[in-house]
Structure 1
Amino acid sequence: MPEIMPFAGLLYSPALLEDASNLICPPYDVIPPALQDELYQRSEVNAVRLELPKEADPYAAAAGRIAEWLRSGALRVDDRPALYPYFQTFTDPSGREFTRRGFFAAMRLSDFTEKKVLPHEKTLSGPKADRLNLYRRTRTNISPVFGIYADEAGTADQLMKEYAEAHQPVLDAMLQGVRNRMWRIDEPGLLQRLQGCLSERTVYIADGHHRYETGLNYRNERAAANPGHDGSEPYNFILTYLANMYDEGLVVFPIHRLLHGIDGFDAAAFTRRLGEYFTVTELGGRDALDAFLDGEPSSYAYGVVLPDKVLGIVLAGEPDSVLDSSCPDALRRLGLVVLHDLVLGRLLGIGAEALAGQKNVVYRKDEDEVFRAVGAGEAQAGFVVKPTTVRQVIDVSEGGDVMPQKSTFFYPKIMTGLVFHSLG
């Protein structure tokens, strides 16, 4: 594992934290305009005003606010370096309650070639340029990278659980149906034990690939401009939330696909083409589709939502028969790779560039939205997919490969505003 360090976080004042539900926000990439407006109304110091400002120059606005909030006491620098356990309690769509346990730390940035931190998704230039401008102006990590590590014994999880049971959280906030609680640990002995039990482990980026790559670019930029650079500067580290892949609260939801803008799309002809490669079953509706996917062991099973019918499809042959021979083994085991390469690419003619630009495909986390959009004529078809597993994420990462975009949705998102990290 890369070096994991306690850090003196930037925190909201204790008085403000008494109403912490009005301070935190989701990460920038899942804040639509309506939610941005709502969060602005909640508080003059809601973290959205740093994470996604409305101003024409959002970067200057965020930098100015950090300086002003520090002057006014709304923000403060923590007294001592600490690690910050962060627990999120939530229910899944079936009503089961989970608590995901992890912690915030300052993680040393390392190039992917060093194999200490590994990605699993492709990144796009636009979000990285945006985040780099924010880093430059604010010199602050406002929202964290989300990393996972493998510790089957769960030693760090147990240490954090015991600490949380004996201490009150410094923050307890509800947002979007998720309870968010954070503690701070600054006891040297306990910090040493937490750091020790995580040594020699790889970190796999679950979410925040753009933020991590931006952190690397920003570090390189600052290092080149600093004649005295020695590697100890805060900009060599990035705010990271770390969770154990064996934590029962580490849940991955699927991200479904909606098809639009295909010239001459014919649902009946498309169904016939599917029959050349898949076993196709016509289903009675949403409930039947959910039962079909739950009961189908194949990774290459999908739901197809059309204006007049719902289909369950399963790849009839082996993936080797439809994928290019150069496709790595870890990717061959992913259902989304067959969906993208065979169905979207070969059958529908949607290329990689169109996928990246969402020209013909958009992504939705809510299965209800798939049915609604197709029924309303806003989409030509919808593809309901199974979730990617954490094991698949790690296998792809370790192989040095990347998944199709929007392959994973680690739920819930790590909220912004619990703690910030100064880059010096």
Structure 2
Amino acid sequence: MPEIRPFKGLRYDPETAGDMGSIICPPYDIIPPTIQQELYGSSEYNAVRLELPKEDDPYGAAAGRLVQWMQDGVLMQDDKPALYPYYQTYTDPEGNTYTRKGFFCALRLHEFSEKKVLPHERTLSGPKKDRLNLFKRTQANISSIFGLYADEKLQADKAIEEFAVTHDPEVDAVFRGVRNRLWKMTDPDVIATVQQVLLDRQVYIADGHHRYETGVNYRNLRSEENHSHTGDEPYNFILIYLANIFDEGLIIFPLHRMVHSLGRFSPEGLIDTLSTHFEVKPLGGRGELKHYLESESSSHVYGVVTSEGIWGIKLKDSPETLLGDSVPAPLLQLSVVVLHELILHRVLGITPEAMCSQTNLVYEEDDRQVFDAVEQGGIQVGFVVKATTVQQVLDISGEGEVMPQKSTYFYPKIMTGMVMHKL
């Protein structure tokens, strides 16, 4: 693993800023304008005002606030370097409760080619330009990337858990049903244990690919400008939340696909075409579809939801036979890859460019919303998919491949405002 370090976190002072439940916010890329406005109204210090300001000059607004809030005591920088254990307790759509456990640290930045940090998704130039402007103006990591590591013996987890159960959290805040707890851990022996356990392990990026690549670009810019560059400056590191893939609270939700605005679309015609390569089974409703997907061991099974009916479909042939060399072999195990290439592209005629820009495609993590959207008439067809597994993420990253966008949905998102990292 790249070097991880404790750092002097920049945090809200609840005595000055107020209730942390009204201050933390999701990462920028899942905040639509309606939620942005709602967050603005929740507190004058809400982290969205740093993460995704709505002013005409958002980067200048964020930089100005950061300085002002530090002067006013709204934000404070810890006086000792620390690791910050972060636990999120949540309930899934089926009513099961989990606690995902991990910690914030500063991670040394490396190019992907060095194979110390591995991506699993493609990135786009627009978001990277946006985040680079924010990095430059604020000289801070406002929000964290989300990384995974593999420690089957849970050695680091146990050391952190022993600390957490014997100390009160610095933050204990509920945001939209998710409980967020943060501790500050400065004990050098515990920190050394965590560093030693993770020393020879790779980091797999679960979420925050754009921010990670931006961190590398920002480091390169700063190092070129700094004639005294040593490699130990804070800009050589990035704020990351690390979780163990063997943590029982680590869950990936599926991201379902909803198609709209296609010309000459026919539910009956779609099902007839799909029957060439798929076994097609009519189903009675959401409950039957859920049971169908859970009972099938194959990754290449889907639910098809239209105004005319619901079907379960299962690929008849191997994906290698149908897609050949058009898709790298490691990616063929993914449900969404076959869906995108075989159904969305070849059958429905949606180009890869249209998928990237979401011209005809909407993503939704809750399958109930898929049924509702089809019933309301705004969506022509919904495809309910199985979740990508953590092992698939590791396998594909390890092979040097990247998944299509929206292949994974790690829930819950890492909240912005729990702790920040000055560069």
Q: Shift of residue 17 of structure 1?
A: 6.8
Percent identity between the two aligned chains? 57
Rounded Cα–Cα distance in structure 2 between residues aligned with 1:410 and 1:304: 23
Number of the residue aligned with 1:327: 327
In the alignment, structure 1 segments of 5+ residues that lack a partner are none
Number of the residue aligned with 2:292: 292
Output aligned runs, 1:356-371, within 5 Å: 356-371=356-371
Q: Shift of residue 118 of structure 1?
A: 0.4
* SS of aligned partner of 1:205: strand
Rounded Cα–Cα distance in structure 2 between residues aligned with 1:154 and 1:79: 30
Q: Is the 8 A contact 1:280 1:313 kept in 2?
A: yes
Q: More displaced, 103-112 or 282-291?
A: 282-291
Q: Shift of residue 34 of structure 1?
A: 2.2
Rounded Cα–Cα distance in structure 2 between residues aligned with 1:320 and 1:40: 49
Q: Is the 8 A contact 1:259 1:381 kept in 2?
A: yes
Q: Shift of residue 306 of structure 1?
A: 0.7
* SS of aligned partner of 1:324: helix
Cα deviation, 1:93-149, whole Å, max 9, x if unaligned, reads: 111111100000000010000000000001111111111111010001000000000
Q: More displaced, 184-193 or 234-243?
A: 184-193
* SS of aligned partner of 1:2: coil
Number of the residue aligned with 1:242: 242
Output aligned runs, 1:364-379, within 5 Å: 364-379=364-379
Number of the residue aligned with 1:231: 231
Number of the residue aligned with 1:354: 354
Rounded Cα–Cα distance in structure 1 between residues aligned with 2:80 and 2:346: 57
* SS of aligned partner of 1:99: strand
Letter in 1 for 2:286: R
Number of the residue aligned with 1:72: 72
Rounded Cα–Cα distance in structure 1 between residues aligned with 2:201 and 2:148: 10
Letter in 2 for 1:174: V
Rounded Cα–Cα distance in structure 2 between residues aligned with 1:400 and 1:354: 25
Letter in 1 for 2:417: G
Rounded Cα–Cα distance in structure 2 between residues aligned with 1:290 and 1:336: 17
Q: Is the 8 A contact 1:91 1:98 kept in 2?
A: yes
Letter in 1 for 2:27: P
* SS of aligned partner of 1:162: helix
Rounded Cα–Cα distance in structure 2 between residues aligned with 1:390 and 1:91: 19
Rounded Cα–Cα distance in structure 2 between residues aligned with 1:347 and 1:38: 40
Number of the residue aligned with 2:52: 52
Letter in 1 for 2:213: E
1:99 counterpart = 2:95: no
Number of the residue aligned with 2:38: 38
Q: Shift of residue 329 of structure 1?
A: 3.0
Number of the residue aligned with 2:137: 137
* SS of aligned partner of 1:86: strand
Rounded Cα–Cα distance in structure 2 between residues aligned with 1:330 and 1:269: 31
Q: Shift of residue 387 of structure 1?
A: 0.2
Rounded Cα–Cα distance in structure 2 between residues aligned with 1:87 and 1:397: 26
Normalised by the length of structure 2, the TM-score is 0.98
Rounded Cα–Cα distance in structure 2 between residues aligned with 1:129 and 1:368: 35
Q: Shift of residue 217 of structure 1?
A: 0.9
Q: Is the 8 A contact 2:252 2:389 kept in 1?
A: yes
Cα deviation, 1:40-62, whole Å, max 9, x if unaligned, reads: 12211111110111111110000
* SS of aligned partner of 1:103: strand
Output aligned runs, 1:85-164, within 5 Å: 85-164=85-164
Letter in 2 for 1:381: V
Cα deviation, 1:229-250, whole Å, max 9, x if unaligned, reads: 1111111100000000000000
Aligned residues: 423
Letter in 2 for 1:297: S
Rounded Cα–Cα distance in structure 2 between residues aligned with 1:169 and 1:303: 43
Q: Shift of residue 14 of structure 1?
A: 4.5
* SS of aligned partner of 1:241: strand
Letter in 2 for 1:140: A
Q: Is the 8 A contact 2:17 2:45 kept in 1?
A: no
Cα deviation, 1:244-263, whole Å, max 9, x if unaligned, reads: 00000000000010111222
Number of the residue aligned with 1:26: 26
Number of the residue aligned with 1:205: 205
Letter in 2 for 1:51: E
Rounded Cα–Cα distance in structure 1 between residues aligned with 2:152 and 2:66: 40
Number of the residue aligned with 1:186: 186
Q: Is the 8 A contact 1:141 1:421 kept in 2?
A: yes
Rounded Cα–Cα distance in structure 1 between residues aligned with 2:16 and 2:6: 23
Rounded Cα–Cα distance in structure 1 between residues aligned with 2:228 and 2:74: 33
Rate the CA distance shift 1:326–1:267 in 2: closer, same or farther, 3 A: closer
Rounded Cα–Cα distance in structure 2 between residues aligned with 1:325 and 1:57: 46
Rounded Cα–Cα distance in structure 2 between residues aligned with 1:175 and 1:82: 24
Letter in 2 for 1:132: L
Q: More displaced, 36-45 or 93-102?
A: 36-45
Q: Is the 8 A contact 2:320 2:329 kept in 1?
A: no
Cα deviation, 1:77-97, whole Å, max 9, x if unaligned, reads: 101000000000111111111
Rounded Cα–Cα distance in structure 2 between residues aligned with 1:352 and 1:130: 23
Rounded Cα–Cα distance in structure 2 between residues aligned with 1:265 and 1:190: 60
Rounded Cα–Cα distance in structure 2 between residues aligned with 1:74 and 1:18: 9
1:345 counterpart = 2:322: no
Rate the CA distance shift 1:17–1:82 in 2: closer, same or farther, 3 A: farther
Rounded Cα–Cα distance in structure 2 between residues aligned with 1:125 and 1:270: 34
In the alignment, structure 2 segments of 5+ residues that lack a partner are none
Output aligned runs, 1:247-266, within 5 Å: 247-266=247-266
Q: Is the 8 A contact 2:254 2:388 kept in 1?
A: yes
